[in-house]
Structure formats: C-alpha cells, structure tokens
Amino acid sequence: MNWSRSIPKRAAVVFAAALLAGCAGMGGSDGVSLRLTGAEEVPPVSTSASGSGTVRVSDDGAVSGNFKTQGASFTAAHIHEGAKGANGPVIIPLQKVNDTEWTVPAGAKLTPAQMQSYKQGRLYVNFHSAKFKGGEIRAQIQPGGGGGY
C-alpha cells in the first residue's frame, strides 16, 4: 500500500468521524443567541441597560446558558414562560456570577409542557432591577436562532 495515497483518505475518514461525533453530541442543544433590551419588556421601558447571552435546551429538556449585562445593577434574573408581548411565571431563576454575569443553574430542566412552550417560542429571559422591579431588559427565546440578533 502506498502511504502517500492513503493520507488523504485517512484524513477524510478522521474528518468525517469528528464531524459526526460533534453532531451526535449536539442532541438538539444548539444555543439560541439573545440580545436583551428594554424595548422587549411588557410594557416597554426606556433604559440604556442591555444584555446578551446564549440559552441551550437539550432534547431531554436540560437547560444551560449564560448572560452578560451592562448599564444597570440587576437584582434578579429568570427564564419565564410567556409569549412575546405577554408576561408569565418564572420557571428557572438564574444565578448571579458577578455584577455583570449570570448563568442558568446546573441541573435546570424544563417539564414536558415547558418544553412545548420552548418549541413554540413562548419562553423569555428577564432581568429585574430596583428601578424596574417587573423587568428592565428582556429577550424572547426563539428556537432556530431568532432571539433578537
């Protein structure tokens, strides 16, 4: 066997295996990029605060994600269940890492009903401050990447 002829074939096999392994590990958990603004609040608020982040939901409902904020001091942050333009209940409280970073807590998981809401774009992330107790910045979580970017 000519070694120089087998290198491209071996490289192709290794590349294909790596690609398949990466796809298999995704399991429907591609991240949804979000941009949080006051204009998305219900009702909208006028603020210079903003945020961005990513939420990942696996096929089994496991949720992970992280967020960065600026322009305000936030007192609480949550993932809520609610359609665009409507408010809804808290389903996952976020954990504060530091003054500008928040994360979805380890082990967070959607119920089957919440998973349906996620698939229908009826979940949102909301950050609350002392000035805007009901929420200062918000982003709707739209599976498929329609999260505000």
> pLDDT tens digits, residue range 94-122?
999 999 999 999 999 999 999 999 999 99
Residue 14, in any domain of the structure: no
Residue 4, in any domain of the structure: no
> pLDDT tens digits, residue range 14-50?
333 333 333 333 334 569 999 999 999 999 999 999 9
Q: Model pTM greater than 0.85?
A: no
Q: Report the phi/psi class of residue 145: left, alpha or beta, with left for phi > 0 and alpha for psi in -120 to 50.
A: left
Nearest to residue 49, comparing CAs of 107, 100, 125? Answer: 100
Lowest mean pLDDT among 5-19, 39-53, 56-70, 117-131: 5-19
Residue 83, in any domain of the structure: yes
- DSSP lists the bridge partners of residue 55 as 32, 65
Residue 17, in any domain of the structure: no
Domain that holds residue 74: 28-141
Rg over CA atoms, the chain: 19
Residue 149, in any domain of the structure: no
Question: For the chain, what is the domain count?
Answer: 1
